[in-house]
Structures are given as C-alpha cells and as structure tokens.
Structure 1
Amino acid sequence: MIAAPDGRRTVGGRYALTALVGQGGMGQVWSAQDLLLGREVAVKLLRASAPGSTHADELRRRFERESRVTARVGHPGLVTVHDAGTDADELYLVMQYVRGTDLADHLAENDPYPWPWAVAVAAQLCPVLAAVHEAGVVHRDLKPRNLMLRHDGTLVALDLGVAAVLGADTTRVTMTGSPVGSPAYMSPEQAMGGAVGPGSDLYSLGAVLYELLTGAVPFEGSSALGTLHRHLHEAPAPLRTVRPDLPPALEALVLWLLAKDPAQRPADATALYHALAPLLPTPTAGTGGAALCDPTRPFRLPFAPWPDRGPGPLPAVPAQPATPVPAPVPPPGTVPSPAVPSQAVPSHDAEGALLAATVDEARRLLGAGRISQALGLLGSALRTAEARHGVDSPVTAALRRQYTALQPHAGANGTAGATPHRP
C-alpha cells in the first residue's frame, strides 16, 4: 500500500482521492492521483452493501459488469478503464480522467447552440456507438451529462454502467419494474421495459440532438411516468418552429431518429453517419463563434495539436494561505436554495473553504431575491478560479455548475447574466 503524503484517503492501496466531481445512482466519482504512476485518474466508488438497501447484490452486479463492459470496448471516444477492485466495503473502478466540459454545461454556455456544432457532436458519436454495438452492447443512458468535450473538440462518451449486454445469456439486472436510464432521453421500447437494441441508443441520440438544437428535451412531463408516456404517445414539436435557421434536412434527420418504431429509425450508427455527412462542417468552414470546446474542430483541423493552453492545472489544490476571492464574507446565517447546491464545491483546505463560503453567500443572496448580485458573485469567483487553477480543476468545475444552475433563476427574474468568458 502507498500512503498519500498529505493524508488523503487512498483507495486500492494507490489511488489518493482529490475531489468529488460527480454523484449519481451508481455512486460517486472522484478525481484522484495514481501514486504509483504519478498520473491523474477518475475513481468511481460504489458502496457494496448500502445500509438498508435490498438491492445490494444487484448494485454489485451492475458495477462489476460496468468494469468488464467498459474495459472490453476499446475506442478513443470511450473512457479507458485502468483498474477495478474492492476497498473495504466499497467497489471501485479506476478510469482515464477526461479534461473538458460536459455537453450539458457546453449547451448552457452556448445557447442557442450552433447547428454545425450539434451535427459535429452527433457525427463523433456515430463511430463510438458503432464500436459499442459491434461489441454486443447498448449504452442505454446517452445524455448530455454523459458526453464530455475535450478542449480540442473531440467527444468522449462516459458511463457504460447501465449498458445491457446483448445475447441469449443476458440477465436483466434492473430494479424490478424500473427501466434503467434517464426518462428525458429514453426510447419508447426502453420505457416499456422491453428488449433494447442499437436503435434505442439512436433514439437517445435524437433526443440529445433535439435538446442541443432547441434548448429543451423533446418530451418533458411533471413526473418520470408522465415523461415516458409522452415518449410513447406524442410526436415531438417541429424543430424549425423554434430554430427557423435549421436546414430542413437536419430537422428531418432528428425526427427520423425519434421515430417510435425502432424499425423506422436509421439501420445503424453507420447509416446515420452517412446521413449526417452532407451537413458536416468542412475543414475551411468557420466555427460560428469561438468556444473552449468546439465540436467542429476535428473536422476543420483534423489531427491538429491541441490548442496551447499553458500549464495544466494541478491535480489537487495545494494547502497554503488562502488568496482572497473577490467576494464578501458571508453572514452567520444562510438561506438554503435548491438552485445552488451546498455540497458541490471541494473544501479540502483554506481556499476550498473560502470558495464554499462564496457559494453560501450566493445562496443567501438568492434567497433574499438579489439574483443579479448572486450571479455576479459566482461569476467573479469562477473567473478567479479559472485564472488560478485552470478551466478543468475540480474547484472551477464545481463553481461553473453553480453558475449554470443559477442562470435560469436570473432569466426568470428579468436579470440577464452573461456566462464568464472562458479562455
């Protein structure tokens, strides 16, 4: 076992956890440092025996299956699995740490999303899905939060954790009566708990494309069941009523993907790529505006080096006297607000604690109805974190999530807040 010199928790005898970067139904995801090889990795943790849970064995099977499935499907558009094992009462999966911005945040910061970018995203997903489907796997949970854009514009699909291995010997390991996936992006056959195939992923890709192009998912209900009912029985609203600038061929392609009957969708990811090809940006085409993660870049500048962004961020925020963040000191009491979660900013040292206090102050301002001040406070802290630690650090990513979560409230109150420019 290798001990972390700064006392951080070490998983599997060699992976020192740095910061919590994600949390969901399958567990937590941490940035971590591989103490043996000296590289930054992502560590996914799942408690093997959740207190009071009657589904511990099922969760263990799903997690172990994720390790095997993700490791066996090799493609640059999928995260690489480095290691897996058990640590105390938790299962862990060690993966490549992907630097970039998830597609949900990229959409929030670039709305309306340029349609050539959306086409580039879909085109990059086609070979990824082709590789996954060729291995006999269906992803089953394609959504913007599971799609990461690197700085050079290349896309990586995350989380094969709910993938269904196709074949006669497949054992269903979903919760009884509960389809696995995200209702807003779920195909009708998946919503019904029926057999899923490659066409189910293509439907989910259609829902992602619809959201990129219109800013809203194709179907949304007051509950998960209401959303699934609309997937089953309603037709999506025409895209060009919201985005008249879209080519008619692109609108037709999205509606093709969203066909209720899998047989009416593209035959496979390869067929979809050929349909997208005429809409793809050319190497000489403009980007329609600068952005940190430009999905058209692989098509405009194939095989070009990554943009020069200077030194990369440190894997951990060093313990040192805090540099003042341009934010007021919060008063003793804070007003909770669901729009700005309190647990998302890492607070491993004095600087982390100060940033957490900044978020608390933003929550207090929001609760008092001072939307523009809360937005300005978070924007200032975000710019400071980007300049000090880089755009990919856990602290910066956490602040960006808070800023993005607050923007709809600003719009609802007539207070427009521009997303800080990201270098």
Structure 2
Amino acid sequence: MITGRYELSTLIGQGGMGQVWTAYDQRLDRRVAVKLLRPDKVAGQEADELRRRFVRECRVTAQVDHPGLVTVHDAGSEGEELFLVMQYVDGADLADHLAEHDPYPWQWTVSVAAQLCAVLSAVHAVPIIHRDLKPRNVMVKQDGTVTVLDLGVASVMDTDTTRLTHTGSPIGSPAYMAPEQAMGGAVGPYTDLYALGVLIHELLSGNVPFTGSTALGVLHRHLYEPPVPVRRLRPEVPESLEALVLRLLSKDPQHRPSSAQETYEQLLPLLPARGMPTGSPLDPTRPFLRPHAPWPDRARIPAPQPSAAPDPAPAADKPDVAGAVDEVKRLLGEGRITQAVDILGAILPAAAAQHGEHSPVVRTLRKQYAATLMDDGQYRRALPELRRLADERATEAGQADPQALRFRYDSAQCLEQLGEPAAALAEYRSLLPYFENQYVGGDPELSLDVRRRIGHLLLALGDRGAAHETLGRLLLDVERLRGPGHPLAGEVRRTLQWLGQVRG
C-alpha cells in the first residue's frame, strides 16, 4: 500500500532503477499504474536532491495537456522509494506491437511517427525534453492512438551530463541515444528527434540502426557510422520517408529537422488523405480532418505575460500588494509554485500602478516572478523577464554589475533549457570574462560552472575537439583550486574519459 491509498496489484515491468505495477486507487475506485524509483540506484547524486527534482519534474509534466501523453495523477515519496501514479493504459507497448507485426507496414510507421511528432511538439513547447524515447516508452491503445510514457523521469535521472549507474552503464538507452546526449553535451528538442529517427528506422527495418556487444560500442557507432538507408532493406518504403529518417539521424543536431512540427509536415503527405481545417478556434472537424496534428506554431506562441500597468485605481479599490506577497511566500513554502506564479503575474501590473514601474517594490516582485518561473520550469516565460531585469540593472549600474551578470547567467540557462545551444553558448562566452576578472568582482565558482556549460554546449553542437580542450583546461584548474577529489573534477574527468574512449 502506497500512502494508504494505492494498493499494488501486479508487477508489469522492472528495470535497474525501479518497477511498474498495476494498482488500485482506493479513494477514486479506479485502476492506475504506479512507477517506483529507488534514488540509491543512481550513482553520484544525493537522494534528497533527486527527490526534490523528481517532484518538480512530475509537477511540470502534469501541466502538459495532450491526449498523447499518459496522465499523471499523483507523485511523491514513501520510505526510500519515489512513486509516480499514472493513468493505466490498456494496450501493448510499441516493441511488442512491432514483434507481432513484423514487418511493420510503412503506413503504420508513418501514422505512429506523426502521432509522436504531435506529442513531442507539445512537450518541447513547455519546454521539456523526453531524453528516453523508445518503443518500450510508447503504448499503442486499443483504438490505435499512441501514448508516450516516462516524460520527465529521464530528466530527473540524467541532468547536464550522462550519469552512470553503479554497474557503469549510461542512464538511458544507448540504442536510441543521440550523439550529443551520449557525450554528455547539452540536450534539446533535437535530441528527441534523433531518438524518433532511430524508432522509425526500427519500425521499418525490424532493428535499430546501430547495434553492438557493449554500450560503448553502440555509442561509438552512433557518433561515427552512417545508418543503412531503409530502402536497401525494404524497397517499397517511399523515398521521402527514407530521406526524412536520414535527416533525423544526422550526427550534427543542426542538420536535423528544426522541430517536431517540421517533421510532422514532412510526414503529412504520406498519411491518409484528409482535408485542411479552417483554423478557427474550437473547430470540431479538426480531429477528423487532421488527426493528432500539433497546433501550428504552438511553440512560438508566447505564454500570457503581465499586461502593461493600467491607470491608477481609486484608493478604495487598490489591491493588497503586501498581502499578495505574504500569500506568495506561504505558497512557496508549501511547494505550490504554479499558484505562486499566477499570483505574482496578476499582482505585478497593480503594483506598478501603485508604486511605479521602477520602484524597489516592483523590482523585487519582478525578481521573484522570474525566479519562480525558472523554478517551475517555465523558461520561455522567464527569459524575457530576466532579460528586462538584466538590461535595467546594467543601465543603472554598468555591464559589470554582479546582479546584472547574474540575470544574464540565468537567461543563458533558459536558452539552454529551451534547446537553443548556439545562443546559450554565445551568452556564456560573453559572460565568462566578467566572472574570471577579479578586478570587477569576478565569481570563481560561477566561472567554473560557465566553463563546464560551454564544454557541454560545444559537445551538443558537434565540436568535440573544442569541447575536449575546454573541459581539459577546466579539469586542470578545478584540481588545482579545489583538489582532485572535488565533485566537479570527477564529473569533468568522467566526461573526458568517455570522450577519449569514443574518439579512440
């Protein structure tokens, strides 16, 4: 029994870090699926930190609204285990489905891939990166619709760099792992698109494009060997589908399709003929005319922002800014971040009207708003707030002001999370001279962190030579300043060892 509510019934899946059970929700009288994870199975991470990130990722995941994602009902910890309560999906996972229908009809492959593009488009708009897309994490339901599992769980287990378990195996699935993810580089939407290419190749050919007797051997082939074009194995596959698979499997992320939306558009001509919807909101014909299509340009639609300050209200109608601030503090203390974000966004225009746009009160609220958005994983909304704060502070106190630099550093983190490695790399590089310059109040700790992030972003952009040089110099400095036993030294050393092995 989990939390006195979920009664475990049947073990339906088991791996190195956890189990999946069918269970019974006693309170709501329904069947659910419960995933149990063991933090002590992950090397190099503190259990309490993993628990905190797990709950945060589950909360962010639960906010993604798409019919192709398994619904998250509950999450938390029970003793030594983390638990995730999900919708029970009646169907077969895609690996079993492929085994039962080998060879898989290419029309089925296109239909599955198009549905996955719609899911990834919604996920990447948050932004969340799945990190472990593979047939075992995709369910085919009785009505033929596809549901994606484990969103956010891989992110908890694998942040910043490729973590190793106690057995020395990389977390994730090497057969589906993009080169930048295998090398510990920054991941983005392009990483999931590579995994999608592997999955499509497997459905069409009956096997993944790269195999080997060891995980390192598989990753080496991902990095250096071209995939076999699927038409050599199945000539009836359309040429356009083969070309798309080869693009998705590009070693360089910049050569892959720009988004899941673009990938869907290339699959669309291969789907059964449908009409185009009018584009009007709430068009009830849309699910029939264009099944499972992602919303056009959804990722580029800005999230609601606080509106411009209205005219001052009469004194009797003035909002209670101080009371709202106290409420936000209480909500944050209880971990109710999403509600705190809503209150801060709503109170900012009123506070600006009451105290002035550039008053200390409003500036403090904006800082809290940006920080809370970042903590809630809403990087797309946090980025313009952080840029505004950075520009205002730099105008007042100069470009080298520590607070202005910190806002820019947080902006670079948002760019990294949003899957814009080139922009993030440029921002980190422009910040580094300030953090290294002791005469303008440099920050040695931030300097080391920025150099680490630069190395990982170079890996993500495919420049392994520059990444090796950057991380090699970083390792020497960390060992000199912090000692060879420092955690950062160990992390960088593992990445360099991995990079050296694969290069060799």
TM-score scaled by structure 2?
A: 0.51
RMSD between aligned alpha carbons? Answer: 2.7
Partner of 2:78: 87
Q: Residue 49 and residue 198 in structure 1: after superposition, are their counterparts in 2 closer, same or farther (change >3 A)?
A: closer
Structure 2 CA distance, aligned partners of 1:300 and 1:106? 26
Compare relative contact order (CA 8 Å, sep 6+) and give the higher one, 1 or 2: 1
Match of 1:175 in 2: 163
8 Å Cα contact 1:98-1:150 kept in structure 2: yes
Give the Cα separation in 1 of the matches to 2:162 and 2:217: 20
SS in 1 for 2:221: helix
1:99 to 1:67, Cα distance in 2 relative to 1, 3 A: same
Task: Kindly indicate whether the alpha-carbon contact (under 8 Å) linking 1:140 and 1:180 is maintained by their aligned counterparts in 2.
Answer: no
Higher Rg of the two aligned structures:
2
Note the alpha carbon deviations across 1:52-104, whole angstroms, 9 max, x for none. Answer: 97645265355334422321222111111111122233221111111111000
Of 129, 150, 159, the residue aligned with 2:120 is: 129
Tell whether 2:178 aligns with 1:190.
no
Matched residue, 2:243: 252
- Describe the shift of the 1:301–1:129 C-alpha distance in structure 2 as closer, same or farther (beyond 3 A): closer
Q: Which of residues 98, 106, 111 is equivalent to 1:107? A: 98
Q: Which amino acid aligns with 1:14?
A: R
Q: Distance between the aligned counterparts of 1:96 and 1:200, measured in 2?
A: 26
Paired with 2:84 and 2:74, the residues of 1 have a C-alpha distance of 6
Q: For residues 205 and 171 of structure 1, what CA distance do their matches in structure 2 show? A: 20
Q: Hey, what's the Cα distance between the residues in 2 that align with 1:266 and 1:219?
A: 21
**Aligned position for 1:225:** 216
- Displacement of 1:281 in angstroms is 2.2
Letter in 2 for 1:13: G
Map Cα deviations across residues 153-183 of structure 1 (whole Å, 9 max, x no partner): 1001100244449xxxx96375269754210
Distance 1:202 1:118, change over 3 A: same
Report how far residue 249 of structure 1 moved. 0.9
Code of the aligned partner of 1:142: L
C-alpha separation in 2, matches of 1:301 and 1:249: 20
- Note if 1:202 corresponds to 2:193: yes
What secondary structure is seen at the aligned counterpart in 2 of 1:135? coil
1:94 and 1:152 map into 2 onto residues whose CA distance is 23
Say whether the 8 Å CA contact 1:281–1:299 is kept in structure 2.
no
Whether 1:30 and 2:21 are equivalent positions in the alignment is: yes
For 1:195 and 1:204, locate their aligned partners in 2 and report how far apart those are by CA, in whole Å: 15
Aligned residues: 276
Deviation for aligned residue 1:233: 0.2
CA deviation after TM superposition for structure 1 residue 216, in Å: 0.8
Whole-Å Cα distance in 2 between the matches of residues 78 and 109 of structure 1? 24
Q: 2:266 matched to 1:278? A: no
Q: Would the alpha carbon gap of residues 301 and 254 (structure 1) be closer, same or farther in structure 2, given more than 3 Å must change?
A: closer
Residue 160 of structure 2 contacts residue 186 of structure 2 at CA under 8 Å; is this kept in 1?
Answer: no
In 2, Cα distance between the equivalents of 1:243 and 1:160?
Answer: 32
**Separation (CA, whole Å) in 1 of partners of 2:248 and 2:43:** 38
| Paired AA for residue 249 in structure 1 | S
For residues 25 and 56 of structure 1, the distance between their equivalents in structure 2, rounded to whole angstroms, comes to 18
* CA–CA distance in structure 2, aligned partners of residues 48 and 206 of structure 1: 31
The residue type paired with residue 185 of structure 2 is G
Contact 2:128-2:152 within 8 A present in 1 as well: no
Q: What CA distance in whole angstroms lies between the structure 1 residues aligned with 2:40 and 2:101?
A: 41
Indicate yes or no: 2:138 matched with 1:150.
no
Shift of 1:133: 0.6
For residues 49 and 180 of structure 1, what CA distance do their matches in structure 2 show? 14
**CA deviation profile, 1:18-40 (whole Å, cap 9, x unmatched):** 10111124411110111111000
2:162, 2:183 within 8 Å by CA — same for their partners in 1?
A: no
Q: What stretches of structure 1 of length at least 5 have no aligned partner?
A: 1-9, 285-297, 304-423
Deviation digits for residues 168-205 of structure 1 (CA, Å, limit 9, x no counterpart): xx963752697542100111111111011111100100
> CA separation in 2, counterparts of 1:175 and 1:56?
13
8 Å Cα contact 1:12-1:85 kept in structure 2: no
Counterparts of 1:22-421 in structure 2, within 5 Å, are: 22-49=13-40, 55=45, 57=47, 59-61=50-52, 63-164=54-155, 172=160, 175=163, 180-282=171-273
Supply the AA of the counterpart residue of 1:216: N
C-alpha displacement of 1:48: 4.8
Quick one: which amino acid aligns to residue 28 of structure 2? Answer: L
Aligned counterpart, 2:311: none
Pair 124,53 (structure 1): closer, same or farther in 2 beyond 3 Å: closer
The amino acid that maps onto 1:136 is P
3-state secondary structure, aligned to 1:11: coil
**Structure with the higher fraction of residues in helix conformation:** 2
1:109/1:192 Cα in 2 relative to 1: closer, same or farther (>3 Å)? same
CA contact (8 A) 2:132 2:172 kept: yes
Residue 42 of structure 1 aligns to a residue whose secondary structure is: strand
* CA distance 1:18–1:274, shift in 2 (3 Å): same
